[in-house]
């Protein structure tokens, strides 16, 4: 919003000599203008902070979506374990992001590699950040940890989960977010001092690379070093599906994640009360609405593409595959959701579905086992999302969302040249390199110390029974009168099938 200014000297001249004590009258009028201006500024900060807090709540609700999706995707005997892991990712991430993560990510002034102020939110809030900003980015950090947990489900020790969650949220993820989101980051599109990478910086608006690639690549290394679940691949090399126990929970988790994504992507504007030069009716609120639309279209297109593609490939209408395809579309559009046209989001979702299907085929070829398809979905589709942005970002929207450098490069297919594509490809490479160099050795050391994978006996019996004191579901009630001796219990009579057996 434009600032309001008032000069008593200038106003006194306008009042003229006929006004008694014109200087005093002018000073009084200007003081009232200053009060009004301060109130307007306070209102603007209040509205923007309320918007960011609401977005943080939406983004945090995605943790419930992750929990339900993961629970439905694993076998019933490991339900309590995976849900406890999701709860601990959130709790551990809260403490470590508070103590270290936020400072490494956004502590300013700092160098281009890592932040170095505001540890434990010291000297907070600042002129740049309020508590809502911390809460919002904490929700992002724990999302990355949740992705990794999904890749390693059904065979990982709880102590390993605690270690890698704290390491991811306290160090690995914050350094990446500093590079691409901090005003001091060496590749940030909002960098305040120094030249931008290829005159553009990396445009990863809500984190296809920063969040999804980081979580997916960490999960890839964890699952590779652990190895596949027992029974996932036959000794002949044939893939055996170890299906999750509840499609209902998968669908519930998917809708919760869909709902939360409207805080994840549109919320990344951080503020809403900003007008654009084109007119009072058009401002950041319009860009926020467009971002929600592009997010929606990418997910919907990916879901339908997955539905028909898997029907052709497998002959089934599989709801779990459709849900994963939908989420793959969301992960892909996250980087460019604010700078592309709605029609381009349809292209993004279509290709994201094919990328996910291709990654799943590669996983089978290389005998890689990810119960949630998290590494393929978030790593593969996140990578496509980063590249997609470099191809389809429009000049107008890039200028509105990133106004600190007029005339910056935009999408290759939109006539903006290849500089943005070069920056985006560097992002892909450095994220792969950084996450591999940090989490790969961590998982390897945990594996050598026998702290990573549970025993074969525990895995076969299920961690709910061996590690958590019982199953998530009660299959019969010990106090049920029908189970006691001498009680007459009616049995269910199955109808006789009149259809000939296929084996006859």
In this prediction, residues 205-212 reach a mean pLDDT of: 97
Rounded mean pLDDT, 199-228 = 96
Bond before 305 cis per omega within 30 degrees: no
Whether the model clears a pTM of 0.75, i.e. scores above it, the answer is: yes
Per the CB < 8 A criterion, the answer to whether 179 and 104 are in contact is no
**How many of the other CB atoms lie within 10 Å of CB of 227?**
16
CA distance 286 to 250: 33
Residue 470: the pLDDT is 86
Residue carrying the six token digits 């989101």:
181
Per-residue pLDDT tens over the stretch 145-157: 999 999 999 999 9
What DSSP string runs through 159-226? HHHHHHHHHIIIIIHHHHHHHHHSTT-TTBTT--SSPPGGGT-B--SS-IIIIIIHHHHHHHHHHHHH
Q: What is the Cα–Cα distance from 504 to 502, expressed in whole angstroms?
A: 6
- Quick check: 413 and 395 in contact, CB under 8 A? no
Q: How buried is residue 353: exposed, middle or buried, by Cβ count under 10 Å (0-12/13-18/19+)?
A: buried
- Whether the per-residue pLDDT at 248 is higher than 50: the answer is yes
User: pLDDT tens digits for 250-269?
Assistant: 999 999 999 999 999 999 99
Average pLDDT, the chain: 89
Which pLDDT band, with edges at 50, 70 and 90, does 376 fall under? very high
pLDDT surpassing 80 at residue 270? yes
> What is the band of 10 on the pLDDT scale with cuts at 50, 70, 90?
low
**How many other CB atoms are found less than 10 A from the CB of residue 37?**
16
The token duo for 81 is: 């374990």
CA–CA separation, 237 and 364 (whole Å): 9
Contact 321, 354 (CB under 8 A): no
Cβ within 8 Å of residue 283, ≥6 positions away? 273, 274, 275, 276
State the residue for tokens 């600032």. Answer: 3
pLDDT higher than threshold 60 for residue 494: no
- Whether the per-residue pLDDT at 2 is higher than 70: the answer is no
């Amino acid at each position: 919003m434009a600032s309001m200014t008032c000069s008593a000297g200038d106003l006194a001249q306008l009042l003229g000599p006929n006004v008694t004590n014109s200087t005093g009258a002018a000073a009084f009028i200007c003081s009232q203008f200053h009060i009004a201006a301060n109130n307007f500024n306070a209102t603007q900060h209040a509205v923007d902070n309320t918007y960011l807090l609401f977005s943080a709540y939406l983004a945090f609700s995605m943790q419930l979506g992750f929990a339900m999706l993961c629970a439905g995707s694993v076998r019933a005997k490991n339900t309590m374990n995976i849900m406890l892991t999701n709860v601990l990712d959130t709790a551990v991430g809260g403490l470590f992001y508070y103590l270290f993560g936020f400072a490494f990510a956004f502590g300013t002034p700092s160098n281009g590699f890592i932040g170095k102020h505001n540890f434990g939110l010291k000297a907070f809030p600042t002129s740049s950040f309020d508590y809502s900003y911390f809460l919002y980015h904490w929700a992002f950090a724990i999302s990355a940890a949740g992705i990794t947990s999904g890749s390693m489900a059904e065979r990982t020790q709880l102590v390993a989960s605690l270690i890698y969650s704290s390491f991811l949220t306290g160090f690995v993820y914050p350094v990446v977010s500093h590079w691409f989101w901090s005003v001091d980051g060496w590749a940030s599109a909002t960098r305040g001092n120094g030249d931008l990478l290829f005159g553009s910086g990396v445009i990863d608006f809500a984190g296809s690379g920063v969040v999804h690639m980081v979580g997916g690549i960490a999960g890839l290394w964890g699952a590779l070093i652990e190895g596949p679940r027992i029974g996932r691949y036959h000794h002949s090399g044939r893939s055996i599906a170890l299906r999750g126990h509840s499609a209902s929970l998968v669908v519930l988790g998917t809708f919760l994640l869909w709902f939360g994504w409207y805080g994840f992507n549109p919320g990344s504007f951080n503020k809403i009360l900003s007008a654009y030069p084109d007119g009072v009716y058009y401002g950041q609120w319009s860009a926020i609405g467009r971002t929600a639309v592009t997010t929606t279209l990418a997910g919907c297109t990916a879901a339908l593409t997955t539905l028909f593609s898997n029907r052709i490939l497998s002959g089934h209408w599989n709801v779990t595959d459709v849900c994963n395809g939908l989420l793959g579309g969301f992960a892909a559009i996250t980087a460019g959701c604010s700078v592309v046209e709605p029609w381009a989001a349809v292209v993004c979702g279509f290709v994201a579905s094919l990328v996910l299907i291709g990654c799943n085929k590669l996983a089978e070829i290389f005998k890689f086992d990810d119960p949630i398809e998290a590494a393929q979905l978030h790593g593969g589709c996140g990578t496509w999302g980063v590249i997609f942005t470099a191809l389809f970002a429009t000049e107008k929207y890039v200028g509105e969302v990133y106004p600190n450098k007029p005339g910056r490069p935009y999408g290759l297919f939109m006539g903006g040249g290849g500089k943005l594509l070069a920056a985006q490809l560097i992002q892909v490479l450095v994220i792969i390199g950084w996450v591999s160099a940090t989490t790969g050795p961590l998982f390897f050391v945990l594996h050598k110390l026998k702290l990573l994978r549970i025993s074969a006996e525990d895995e076969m019996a299920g961690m709910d029974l061996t590690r958590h004191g019982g199953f998530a579901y009660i299959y019969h009630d010990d106090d049920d009168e029908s189970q006691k001796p001498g009680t007459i219990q009616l049995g269910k009579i199955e109808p006789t099938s009149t259809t000939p057996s296929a084996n006859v």
